[in-house]
Amino acid sequence: MSHAHDSTENSVKDDAPAGSTQKDGEVCAVCCDEGHGHSPRRDCETACEIGILPTHESDHIEDEKYGCSEHCCECGHDHGKREGEGCELKDGCGCGHDHGDSDQFGLTGWLGAVLFAAGLFFSNRPFTPYLLLAAYLLVGWRPLQKAVRNIAKGEVFDENFLMSVATIGAIAIREYPEAVAVMLLYRVGEHFQGLAVNKSRSSIHSLLELQPETANLLKDGTEQTVPSAELTVGDVIAVRPGERIPADGVIAGGATSLDMSSLTGESTPVSVKEGEEVLSGSINLEGRIEVKVTKLAKESAAARILQLVEDAAKAKAPTEQFITKFSKVYTPIVCLFAALTAAVSTLVFKRPPAEGIYAAMTFLVISCPCALAISVPLGFFGGLGLASKRGVLIKGGNFLEGLGEVRHIVLDKTGTITTGTLRVSNVEPAKGFTQSELMQYAFSAESGSNHPIAAAIREAAQDGPKPSAMQEKPGYGVICEVDGRHVLAGNRRLLTEEGIEAPAPGGIGTAVYLAVDGKFAGLITVSDTVKPDAEKTVAALKRRGIASITMLTGDNEPTAKAVASEVGITDFAANLLPQDKVTRLETIMKGAAGKTLFVGDGINDAPVLARADIGAAMGALGSDAAIEAADIVLMDDKLSGLEAAFEVAAKTRSIVRQNIAFSLTVKFAVMALALFGHASMWLAVFADVGVALLAILNCTRLMAQKA
């Protein structure tokens, strides 16, 4: 049926590179030359840098979940390690720590510790230096070996180099106990930092376990367990209570309730029945259901979420980029200052050369930028993980940090502030008719239409007599017979053409006019409804210091004004075509300080999403186009997800700034003490290791938070 109602509201609105199929342990054709088993599309520099992604062979290629970009790591990782061992770090860190290895202290570390204790116990004996030198070689072999290997590759200024030079210098001036102590504490610190990073990694991995590896395929009357990746469109699978749905599909049998919290952040179970769509990653809570697969596992909702979370590590925040560059410049400069410290101590303060060398070695120990280079990326990754727990997918640390600079928000109306679903908002029967009669006539007249307005009327009326002699009048409405009575349903023009007087439409919404046997019977108003959380969210955003919130819509001004007023927005623009929205957004951006965020339903707003500083798509979990166009994806249909995104961004920014301030303050303080001869190498290594560990633990506060 072609509706032409009198309305005050318009209608609702990589290809994988070579090497992508390599098996476990093979070298990625576009990756580093270190024997990664990465599959494509993962920037492993960032991934390995923060120690979050799998670092052992068995995880590198599992389900092809992790990829590698063409600018891959060249990081010198020891990728042939056993399960549980960690990745050395390179570009982001520059420090050489095995941050992901929680069990690297090992036998040599314990033997070195025993010999060190023996050397301290048997002090001032002829064999004491030999005990301490043996202890030094046992605990320092790995850092010494890595320093030599990295120097051969042109990577001089890492922590292995700093620790090696500092401790060899200590040995040269016969400070054997301190040389061993520095290496021993350094190894102990690595161990505990590895434990902290592994905890962080496990927290993130728990977010990524959305897609089960196997599925229960129903075939030829039997149930077979097959890999989820082998499912094809049209297959029917069984999902028992407690199991995750392995692929998107439609329920072919049974009914249940689903836990979709891992997808949308919404903890309330969702009831589904036969014929309704279900998304992979949802947990079946009640009865056994049969699901007909509609998408391949790799194209399903869970797979898209996995890809988004993984790809998010590629886009570094400006703070991360600065720290990466800062680390590469900072360490050589500190080495120069160490040499100057030795010179100043000897030439200016007239101290013995051994004291000058000792001060310089202390400078080298404290100079490692590890706490910054590890904790900053880890902080942003933790923020991305927390956001995904709350049903918000942010496509990188740059957008997460960018939220903190947003001062202007532009909201589309339909599907963002309003539900985008039409509902009957008012029924006005004429004299001689009841509301029930009017709705039944309307149900009958609209029974053959798929138009959203017709669907809204049928949903409200529930039932009505079967019509006959149905006649459509495009642009006007429909004429039919209902229980022997002549019924017209459509716009006011339809009734006027038939010589029936009807009042002009009033109020907000789309008016459907009805006439029975040549007499005006009444009108039904259908309108979009404001989302329950819209007003509260707008108020919360204003409290966060957002300077302006603007609503854009294609609807006419009375409708726009009413909706804006209801949710507390004073600035709005109506009667806009899609291209007009882009123009209006650009006008706002030109005259605004700070970044501008646009929020739309992700269906009709791709041009505006792409043009904004940051674009967020509402309820876009099932829309590939929206996921592609948006920088932030609010996985459910609640505007409150926007407030959650700002909250996570603020927490992340706070933790990252705390780590930067704390790390630099402690390091500069110890450097100052070393310059004036008041800092020991023991203090320096405690400061280096302790600060890094505390910064990492600070980041885990983000990951430990619940949705």
Tokens at 685, concatenated: 């290594």
Q: Is residue 269 part of a domain?
A: yes
Q: How far apart, in whole angstroms, are the C-alpha atoms of residue 518 and residue 103?
A: 87
Tokens at 567, concatenated: 């949710």
432 and 414 housed in the same domain: no
Is residue 367 scored above 80 in pLDDT?
no
pLDDT classification of 374: cutoffs 50, 70, 90: confident
78 is catalytic: no
Report the candidate in 431, 599, 464 with the shortest Cα–Cα distance to residue 531. Answer: 599
pTM of the model: 0.65
**Average pLDDT in the 315-338 region?**
72
What's the domain count of the chain?
Answer: 3
Predicted local distance difference test score (pLDDT) of residue 25:
35
Q: Is residue 230 part of a domain?
A: yes
Predicted local distance difference test score (pLDDT) of residue 652:
93
138: left (phi over 0), alpha (psi -120 to 50) or beta: alpha
Q: 283 with 302: CB under 8 angstroms?
A: no
Beta bridge partners of 429: 522
537 and 641 housed in the same domain: yes
Domain boundary pick from 277, 299, 321: 299
Q: Is residue 558 part of a domain?
A: yes
Q: Average pLDDT over the chain, rounded to whole?
A: 77
pLDDT classification of 95: cutoffs 50, 70, 90: very low
447 and 522 housed in the same domain: yes
pLDDT classification of 643: cutoffs 50, 70, 90: very high
Q: How far apart, in whole angstroms, are the C-alpha atoms of residue 219 and residue 92?
A: 50
541 and 642 housed in the same domain: yes
400 and 429 housed in the same domain: no
Lowest mean pLDDT among 7-11, 43-47, 275-279: 43-47
Tokens at 610, concatenated: 């792409």
| Alpha carbon separation from 413 to 7, 179, 555, 569 (Å, rounded) | 17, 67, 9, 11
Predicted local distance difference test score (pLDDT) of residue 17:
36
pLDDT classification of 449: cutoffs 50, 70, 90: confident
Domain boundary pick from 265, 299, 333: 299
Tens digit of pLDDT for each residue in 219-260? Answer: 888 899 999 889 999 999 999 998 989 888 999 999 998 887
What CATH number is given to the structural domain containing 235? 2.70.150.10
Tens digit of pLDDT for each residue in 118-160? Answer: 888 887 788 888 888 898 899 888 888 888 888 888 777 677 7
404 and 489 housed in the same domain: no
543 and 409 housed in the same domain: yes
Beta bridge partners of 253: 290
Predicted local distance difference test score (pLDDT) of residue 613:
92
Beta bridge partners of 485: 482
Domain boundary pick from 299, 315, 348: 299
456 and 564 housed in the same domain: no
Predicted local distance difference test score (pLDDT) of residue 523:
93
b/e 269-303 (16+ beta carbons within 10 angstroms → b): bbebeeeeebbbbbbbeeeebbbbbbbbbbebbbb
What CATH number is given to the structural domain containing 390? 3.40.50.1000
Report the candidate in 2, 4, 1 with the shortest Cα–Cα distance to residue 492. Answer: 4
556 and 508 housed in the same domain: no
**Average pLDDT in the 676-688 region?**
80
pLDDT classification of 314: cutoffs 50, 70, 90: low
- State which residues form the domain around 601: 380-418+531-647
Q: 108 with 139: CB under 8 angstroms?
A: yes
Q: How far apart, in whole angstroms, are the C-alpha atoms of residue 76 and residue 626?
A: 38
Q: Is residue 19 part of a domain?
A: no
Residue 203 parent element (H or E): helix 176-208
Q: Is residue 355 part of a domain?
A: no
Report the candidate in 12, 70, 80 with the shortest Cα–Cα distance to residue 41. Answer: 70
Q: Is residue 551 part of a domain?
A: yes
428 and 480 housed in the same domain: yes
The pair phi, psi for residue 645, each rounded to 5°, is -60, -45
Is residue 68 scored above 60 in pLDDT?
no
502 and 632 housed in the same domain: no
Q: 499 with 466: CB under 8 angstroms?
A: no
Report the candidate in 125, 124, 137, 123 with the shortest Cα–Cα distance to residue 168. Answer: 137
Question: Which member of 101, 158, 235, 412 is catalytic?
Answer: 412
Is residue 208 scored above 60 in pLDDT?
no
Q: Is residue 627 part of a domain?
A: yes
What CATH number is given to the structural domain containing 468? 3.40.1110.10
**Residue owning tokens 């994806």:** 633
Q: Is residue 44 part of a domain?
A: no
Report the candidate in 578, 598, 586 with the shortest Cα–Cα distance to residue 409. Answer: 598
- DSSP letters of 81-102? PPTT------TTT-S---TT-T
Is residue 444 scored above 70 in pLDDT?
yes
412 and 278 housed in the same domain: no
| Alpha carbon separation from 362 to 29, 112, 345, 679 (Å, rounded) | 43, 22, 13, 7
